[in-house]
């Protein structure tokens, strides 16, 4: 594995970090708890020491699974990245979505990052994770109903108390990062970034490079799209949010697959899978510190962790990017 520094402390994270959203089942058509625990353990055995989770993932389930998976490991050999600010059990802030929990019950998810809520969320996360500190504590989505000052001052207090080591944000634009930075030192921004979603290259990437902020690229496989397993006609299980996303309509599956077939010979030459080639390309992009990669089971997790063994020359990266630049997806 390769490791990169996150923020100003002496904290190193694995370049392939385990993303534990799907492990929590919510919006992914459920979870097999045993498979999820095994996936995290298989990753750790290959040097994936960092895990990204959130309370909203399975309404606590993902954090519990992470807690179970890391039980017995030396705490200073694992880096726990979790979040706050998405409440399904409190009717405050901005309604983000109406959804169903893993048991099929209706839930209203709110973006809310008020002070008292954060302090409570942190205690709940520590309990579920079975630890007494969080390495990186991130706001999950901007909360337009609470001043950033209030939110970040609450996190600064948690840092002072030793419950949190560093502050991060997710899905923040540059102006929001600048505002947050006035109240707490930000280590990172966690944002969507994949071969087919590169919007951050225009603004967040240059800002983070200039200001020494880490970028945690989420959904680098575009939720499975870039693994090559999805062909037109692909179906998802009930409750899987991907069924309604434009990336996964037949026309876009076809166009993406045509692109993937063009880079497949390079994957074959490297004795790599397409997913591995995609992950390596992603972590080679300017400003990208680590990739948060989700996996449902130990097989996927092992494959993704081993992406680190694939080496790409500058020419090979350019070849992939040139092919990618010819890919046009149909947007809604
Ligand atoms: N901050 C945020 O707002 C936010 C938002 C999204 C994600 N994230 C973070 O980023 C992490 C990763 O993103 P993601 O889970 O959305 O997407 P992803 O990493 O692009 O895709 C993960 C999914 O792709 C499939 N997959 C993974 N490896 C595979 C392999 N080797 N072969 C075949 N299929 C494979 C699995 O689903 P199937 O087997 O079901 O196809 C898996 O759940 C999340 O877990 C979370 O930690 C954060």
With a cut of 90, say whether residue 26 has pLDDT above it: no
User: What is the CB-side half-sphere exposure of residue 328 using CA atoms within 13 A?
Assistant: 2
Atom of ligand 1 nearest to the CA of 304: 31
Enter the DSSP assignment of 89.
Answer: S
DSSP, collapsed to helix, strand or coil, labels residue 217 as strand
Which H or E run contains 317?
helix 314-325
C-alpha–C-alpha distance, residues 21 and 136, integer Å: 16
End-to-end Cα spacing for the chain: 38
In the reported structure, the alpha carbon of residue 292 is separated from the centroid of ligand 1 by a whole-number distance in angstroms of: 8
Nearest residue (CA) to ligand 1, atom 47: 19
Given a contact cutoff of 8 angstroms between Cβ atoms, the answer to whether 16 and 284 are in contact is no
Beta-bridged to residue 28, according to DSSP, are 240
Which H or E run contains 69?
helix 61-70
C-alpha–C-alpha distance, residues 149 and 157, integer Å: 12
pLDDT-wise least confident of 13-22, 29-38, 222-231: 29-38
Digit-coded pLDDT (tens) for 180-237: 999 999 999 999 999 999 999 999 999 999 999 999 999 999 999 999 999 999 999 8
List b or e across 61-78, with b for residues whose CB sees 16 or more CB atoms inside 10 angstroms: bbbbbbbbbbeeeeeeeb
With a cut of 80, say whether residue 30 has pLDDT above it: no
Q: Are strands 12-14 and 214-218 parallel, antiparallel or unpaired?
A: unpaired
| 112 included as an active-site residue | no
Burial level of 17, CB count in 10 A (0-12/13-18/19+)?
Answer: buried
C-alpha–C-alpha distance, residues 186 and 6, integer Å: 10
Closest CA to 53 of 35, 78, 29: 78
Closest CA to 170 of 323, 246, 56, 28: 56
Digit-coded pLDDT (tens) for 55-97: 999 999 999 999 999 999 999 999 999 999 999 999 999 999 9
What residues flank ligand 1, with Cβ below 6 Å? Answer: 19-22, 52, 140, 170-171, 190, 218-224, 227, 229, 275, 292-296, 300, 303-304
Tokens matching residue 275: 């997913």
pLDDT value of residue 41: 97
Tokens matching residue 206: 């240059």
pLDDT value of residue 68: 97
pLDDT value of residue 209: 97
Which H or E run contains 148?
helix 148-160
- Could you identify the residue written with the tokens 């074959």? 268
How far is the CA of 294 from the CAs of 37, 132, 271, in angstroms? 13, 25, 22
Domain locations in the chain as residue ranges? 3-224+274-310
pLDDT value of residue 76: 95
Closest CA to 16 of 2, 27, 30: 2
Which is higher by pLDDT, 104 or 137?
Answer: 137
Q: What percent of the chain has pLDDT over 90?
A: 92
pLDDT value of residue 28: 82
Residue 164 pLDDT level (bands cut at 50, 70, 90): very high
With a cut of 80, say whether residue 18 has pLDDT above it: yes
**Which residues are CB-neighbours of 255 under 8 A, at least 6 positions away?**
327, 328, 329, 330
Given a contact cutoff of 8 angstroms between Cβ atoms, the answer to whether 99 and 162 are in contact is no
**Can you tell me the mean pLDDT for 123-132?**
98
DSSP, collapsed to helix, strand or coil, labels residue 42 as helix
CATH of domain 3-224+274-310: 3.20.20.100
**Can you tell me the mean pLDDT for 16-24?**
94
Tokens matching residue 294: 């989700």
Nearest residue (CA) to ligand 1, atom 34: 224
Given a contact cutoff of 8 angstroms between Cβ atoms, the answer to whether 36 and 67 are in contact is no
Model confidence, pTM: 0.97
pLDDT value of residue 7: 83
Digit-coded pLDDT (tens) for 270-318: 999 999 999 999 999 999 999 999 999 999 999 999 999 999 999 999 9
Q: What percent of the chain has pLDDT over 70?
A: 100
From 221, 240, 253, 267, the mutation candidate for ligand 1 (largest count of ligand atoms within 8 A of CB) is 221
Residue 248 pLDDT level (bands cut at 50, 70, 90): very high
Number of residues that make up the chain:
332
Q: Are strands 3-5 and 12-14 parallel, antiparallel or unpaired?
A: antiparallel
From 13, 17, 18, 19, the mutation candidate for ligand 1 (largest count of ligand atoms within 8 A of CB) is 19
**Can you tell me the mean pLDDT for 123-150?**
98
Dihedral sign from CA coordinates of 247, 250, 254, 255: negative
In the reported structure, the alpha carbon of residue 115 is separated from the centroid of ligand 1 by a whole-number distance in angstroms of: 30
Digit-coded pLDDT (tens) for 260-271: 999 999 999 999
């Amino acid at each position: 594995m390769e490791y990169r520094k996150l923020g100003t402390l002496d904290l190193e994270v694995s370049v392939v970090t385990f993303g534990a959203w799907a492990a929590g089942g919510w919006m992914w058509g459920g979870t097999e708890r045993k498979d999820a625990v095994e996936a995290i353990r298989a990753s750790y055995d290959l040097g994936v020491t960092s895990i990204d989770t959130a309370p909203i993932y399975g309404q606590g389930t993902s954090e519990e699974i992470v807690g179970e998976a890391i039980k017995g490991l030396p705490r200073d050999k694992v880096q726990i990245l979790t979040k706050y600010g998405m409440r399904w059990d409190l009717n405050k802030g901005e309604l983000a979505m109406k959804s169903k929990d893993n048991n099929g019950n209706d839930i209203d998810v709110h973006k809310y990052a008020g002070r008292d809520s954060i302090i409570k969320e942190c205690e709940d996360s520590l309990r579920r994770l079975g630890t007494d500190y969080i390495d990186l504590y991130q706001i999950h989505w901007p909360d337009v109903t609470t001043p950033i000052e209030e939110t970040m001052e609450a996190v600064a207090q948690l840092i002072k108390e030793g419950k949190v080591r560093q502050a991060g944000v997710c899905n923040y634009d540059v102006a929001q990062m600048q505002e947050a930075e006035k109240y707490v030192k930000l280590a990172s921004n966690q944002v969507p970034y994949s071969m087919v979603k590169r919007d951050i290259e225009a603004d967040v990437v240059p800002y983070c490079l200039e200001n020494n902020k880490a970028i945690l690229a989420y959904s680098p496989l575009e939720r499975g799209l870039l693994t090559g397993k999805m062909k037109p006609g692909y179906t998802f299980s009930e409750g899987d949010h991907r069924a309604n996303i434009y990336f996964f309509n037949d026309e876009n599956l076809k166009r993406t697959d045509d692109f993937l077939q063009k880079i497949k010979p390079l994957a074959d030459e490297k004795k790599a899978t397409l997913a591995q080639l995609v992950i390596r390309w992603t972590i080679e992009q300017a400003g990208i510190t680590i990739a948060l990669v989700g996996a449902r089971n130990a097989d996927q997790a092992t494959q993704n962790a081993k992406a680190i063994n694939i080496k790409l020359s500058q020419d090979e990266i350019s070849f992939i990017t040139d092919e990618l630049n010819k890919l046009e997806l149909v947007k809604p």
